[in-house]
Amino acid sequence: MKIHSKAVHAGDRKKAGQHIPITTPICTATSFFYDSMEKLDRVFGQEEPGFAYSRYDNPTTAALEELMCELEQGHTALACASGMAAIHTAVTTALTDRRKSVVAANAMYGATVSLLMNVLQPAGVEVRFADICDLDALRAAVRQAQPGCLLIETISNPLLRVGAIDRIAEIAREAGAALVVDNTFGTPLIARPLELGAHFSVHSITKYLAGHGDVLGGAVVTDEAHGPALRALSRTVGPVLGPFEAYLTMRGIKTFPLRMERQCANACRVASWLAEHPRVERVYFPGDAAHPDAATVARLFPPNLWGAVVSFEIRDARREQVFRMMDALRMIVRATSVGDVHTMMLYPVMSSHREISPKHRERMGIRDNLLRLSVGIEAPEDIISDLDQALAS
């Protein structure tokens, strides 16, 4: 099946007693009862499929995990309580039998940088950052660090750089490292990292997959080799998603390909309009022919799907001007997150990258006049007219 059909059907219609519900219901039970102790023993021992305890596995969450495997072409999935829990779980699983060293992209979501610097590094994991869009520089960093794990984003947050996942996967394999790709901004409509050789694809499902601003969640999808370690870690640590959120996510995913196509088309229109605006100094958008990774984008992404985030710098603006412009927005929502049906604007220096030191931010190229726009499904004319009046302010 194509992704539009998988999004609608995969994971659903499991037999529940006498009936088969057409969509997956919410199963709130934390524990499961069996007629015989022999059977319960086999389920506990994982010798027989079944549910014993919802930290290990839950019918609603399992249906979402099946759906995620289908969308990402993976073997095993784990639905997590947040995108950050998913990244932490994926990296920890990747490092299970490998050297405790991570080479990460030098431009990533702020909390991911924080996870590396403030959680993993103090716990003894060596952390090094590299420019993943310069493969020679990446190879040199990998030679020196001998990492157990490489960590990248399909489309980086917020400067929207695109690394060659397939070539980075080769570098990881040659070094015996696992490649973890945060595919949140890419989504399986645009990229399926496991097909390109990555070992883990992770998501903040809070974003495009759930899509409506009412679910916090994450997912890890991996190959057959890493599946048992992923599930074993999760059974012990319990970073799992609850059944209500799993239900809402499955409901959201049914329309995700449609929403994403519309959002990508809207983003393209908005990016072209911003590029012509006299108050805009620079636009970052992977669909731009002058984008530094245009060749990789053309090679790996499907036609006309370049993601739905547009970042831009306002000419000569400092914090006061940025605040004034954002306060003037009428329809576009001033809030953090991306991927919702509504267009949202965020000031990275104040939010997603706040915890990163100004010096580190500067090295990442995140300036005080940079804004990130997550383009929604509204009429593009309305998005543009709101931007126009706000920029005029």
Ligand X SMILES: Cc1ncc(COP(=O)(O)O)c(C=O)c1O
- Applying CB under 6 A, the residues found at the interface with ligand X are 82-84, 109, 111, 153, 157, 182, 184-185, 204, 206, 216, 218
* CB closer to ligand X out of 51 and 187: 187
Tokens linked to 11: 């994971």
Integer Cα distance of 272 and 260 in angstroms: 18
8 Å CB contact between 154 and 203? no
8 Å CB contact between 70 and 250? no
Integer Cα distance of 383 and 41 in angstroms: 57
**57 carries an active-site annotation:** no
Helix (H, G, I), strand (E, B) or coil at 337: coil
* CB closer to ligand X out of 146 and 336: 336
Q: Which of 42, 55, 139, 354 is catalytic?
A: 55
* CB closer to ligand X out of 141 and 151: 151
Using CB atoms, what's the residue nearest to ligand X? 83
Bridge partners for 310 per DSSP: 373
Bridge partners for 313 per DSSP: 282, 370
The phi, psi pair for 296, rounded to 5°, reads -65, -40
**Least distance (Å) between residue 49 CB and ligand X:** 29
**Least distance (Å) between residue 185 CB and ligand X:** 6
**Least distance (Å) between residue 116 CB and ligand X:** 13
Tokens linked to 341: 């049906």
**15 carries an active-site annotation:** no
DSSP count for the chain of H helices, then E strands:
15, 12
The phi, psi pair for 225, rounded to 5°, reads -65, -35
* CB closer to ligand X out of 70 and 182: 182
* CB closer to ligand X out of 218 and 380: 218
Integer Cα distance of 275 and 187 in angstroms: 25
**109 carries an active-site annotation:** yes
Residue in 315, 324, 307 with CA at minimum distance from that of residue 373: 307
Tokens linked to 288: 């731009």
Q: Which of 182, 288, 340, 386 is catalytic?
A: 182
Q: Which of 6, 109, 192, 368 is catalytic?
A: 109
**Least distance (Å) between residue 85 CB and ligand X:** 7
**Least distance (Å) between residue 19 CB and ligand X:** 34
**Least distance (Å) between residue 92 CB and ligand X:** 15
Residue in 249, 369, 390 with CA at minimum distance from that of residue 325: 390
DSSP letter, residue 75: S
Q: Which of 167, 192, 207, 259 is catalytic?
A: 207
**Least distance (Å) between residue 212 CB and ligand X:** 14
* CB closer to ligand X out of 147 and 348: 348
Q: Is the bond preceding 158 in cis, omega lying within 30 degrees of 0?
A: yes
* CB closer to ligand X out of 72 and 182: 182
**167 carries an active-site annotation:** no
Question: What's the Cα-to-Cα distance from 377 to each of 15, 256, 309, rounded to whole Å?
Answer: 35, 11, 12
Helix (H, G, I), strand (E, B) or coil at 280: strand
Q: Which amino acid is at 215?
A: V
Could you list the active site residues?
Answer: 55, 109, 182, 207
